């Protein structure tokens, strides 16, 4: 449901907004510029921006599709290519730790999703891992549980794979709204595949509550974390999640096509029956036995030879998380999206936009999606003017806020350019004071 963007009350009040009694209020642009400067000056994550390759000519608000390059990736890949591959060659599988990289890097991701060690393995694409997780979940369910619940607004691939998993296991798929999953689960439900954050709207769904309801109904919970991990706290172990998947090229900044990850709760690992039993997950991979015997633990999620270059690029990218508190990330994410919505309300011509992202913090991920007539053309013009977001048909502008490198000044600049583009289309103007 779309929500009107209110001009009445700013999303988040700070002392910097106070106006002395009897003083003339500052124009909107000037007030917002002062607030952006104050918020950036007090940002505990501000130094982390220097860990990324960025330019001040562009406001990059598409980290929910592809995260920025971190400064440590190029030297790491240079060493991998010239020394590990170029000099050591085949010896690097042992001497450089290539063979154990999927589990080792999985253990680096684990704290970002609230998982203990030994439960996350990195490799393959998100789509492949969704297939592994969902089929394995259904195989663990009794045969009389004949349906798979799927988020009706899911990213299309998740839906396609759920249909394939259902055909493979003799089940049927029932699409339901993510928020209705808990109520829809019943004695016929084998498993549910749910997105933690909706990719179109940025709505954050109730992972603990839905997981608990699925378990009460005797079903397993499979979560897609693509738009949440790295942007907000996730507590897979504490919330009892059974299986989860996620990509690493969005908020984890692993690079285009970076390998995804698969979480299998420790208590289920012995029962995890992968539909893709490759030699890398065999108990004795170099025994080359004709029969398959699964390995122990998270290694069961592996299939074939790891994609080493992209896997080790991801390893280097994860260095940016050293010393970073996920609580600080979440606090800044909410503050950024609040401030952006406040700037849009103050600067954009009235009636041109509607937010489809929930106003409530408990239901918001780390993006703002705005419904706009002519959205495709608007986004093209924004990009041409140095504000990079993206567009989803038919009429949604998406702006992803990556707290590790997005500044409050960036949020203001994006709103100002958006106001310019829409104002030019209507002939309206907006305040120009205090442009950062």
Residues with catalytic function: 155, 224, 249-250, 398
- Calpha distance 124→132 (Å, rounded): 10
| Largest separation between any pair of C-alpha atoms in the chain | 85
Q: Cβ contacts of residue 212 below 8 Å, gap of 6+?
A: 182, 239, 240
Asked if 126 and 241 touch (Cβ cutoff 8 Å), the reply is no
Q: Which two tokens stand for residue 153?
A: 């607004």
Give ∠ CA 57-422-4 in degrees, rounded to 5: 110
Residue 310: which H helix or E strand, with range?
Answer: helix 308-317
CB neighbours of residue 289 within 10 Å: 12
**CB < 8 Å & 24+ apart, contacts of 32-36:** 32/342, 32/343, 32/346, 32/347, 32/412, 32/434, 33/409, 33/412, 33/433, 33/434, 33/435, 33/436, 34/434, 35/339, 35/408, 36/339, 36/407, 36/408, 36/409, 36/411, 36/412, 36/436
Q: What is the total residue count of the chain?
A: 436
Cα atoms in the 13 Å half-sphere on the side-chain side of 277? 16
- Calpha distance 137→429 (Å, rounded): 55
Cα atoms in the 13 Å half-sphere on the side-chain side of 322? 8
Q: Which two tokens stand for residue 264?
A: 């299998």
Query: Collapsing DSSP states into helix, strand and coil, what is residue 392?
Result: strand
């Amino acid at each position: 449901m779309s929500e009107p963007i209110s001009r009445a009350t700013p999303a988040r009040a700070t002392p910097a907004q106070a106006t002395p009694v009897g003083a003339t209020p500052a124009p909107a642009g000037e007030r917002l510029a002062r607030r952006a400067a104050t918020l950036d000056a007090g940002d505990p994550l501000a130094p982390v921006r220097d860990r990324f390759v960025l330019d001040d000519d562009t406001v990059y608000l598409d980290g929910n599709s592809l995260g920025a390059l971190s400064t440590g990736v190029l030297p790491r890949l240079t060493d991998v290519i010239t020394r590990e591959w170029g000099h050591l060659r085949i010896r690097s599988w042992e001497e450089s730790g290539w063979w154990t990289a999927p589990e080792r890097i999985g253990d680096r991701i684990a704290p970002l999703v609230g998982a203990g060690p030994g439960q996350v393995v990195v490799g393959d694409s998100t789509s492949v891992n969704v297939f592994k997780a969902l089929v394995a979940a259904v195989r663990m369910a009794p045969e009389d549980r004949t349906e798979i619940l799927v988020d009706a607004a899911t990213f299309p691939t998740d839906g396609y794979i759920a249909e394939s998993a259902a055909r493979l296991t003799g089940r049927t798929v029932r699409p339901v709204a993510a928020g209705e999953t808990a109520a829809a689960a019943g004695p016929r439900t084998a498993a549910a595949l749910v997105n933690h954050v909706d990719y179109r709207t940025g709505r954050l769904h109730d992972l603990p509550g839905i997981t608990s309801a699925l378990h009460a109904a005797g079903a397993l919970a499979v979560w897609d974390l693509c738009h949440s991990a790295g942007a907000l706290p996730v507590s897979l172990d504490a919330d009892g999640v059974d299986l989860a998947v996620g990509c690493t090229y969005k908020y984890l900044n692993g690079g285009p096509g970076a390998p995804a990850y698969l979480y299998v709760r420790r208590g289920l690992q012995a029962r995890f029956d992968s539909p893709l039993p490759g030699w890398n997950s065999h108990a004795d991979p170099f025994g080359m036995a004709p029969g398959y015997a699964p390995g122990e633990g998270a290694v069961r999620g592996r299939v074939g030879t790891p994609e080493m270059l992209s896997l080790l690029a991801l390893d280097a990218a994860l260095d940016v998380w050293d010393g970073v508190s996920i609580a600080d990330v979440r606090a800044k994410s909410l503050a950024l999206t609040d401030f952006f919505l406040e700037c849009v309300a103050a600067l954009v011509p009235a009636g041109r936009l509607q937010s489809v992202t929930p106003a409530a913090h408990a239901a918001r991920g780390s993006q703002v999606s705005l419904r706009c007539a002519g959205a495709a053309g608007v986004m093209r013009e924004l990009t041409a003017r140095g504000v990079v977001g993206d567009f989803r048909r038919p009429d949604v502008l998406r702006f992803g806020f990556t707290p590790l490198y997005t500044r409050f000044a960036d949020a203001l600049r994006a709103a100002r350019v958006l106001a310019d583009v829409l104002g030019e289309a209507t002939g309206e103007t907006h305040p120009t004071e205090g442009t950062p």
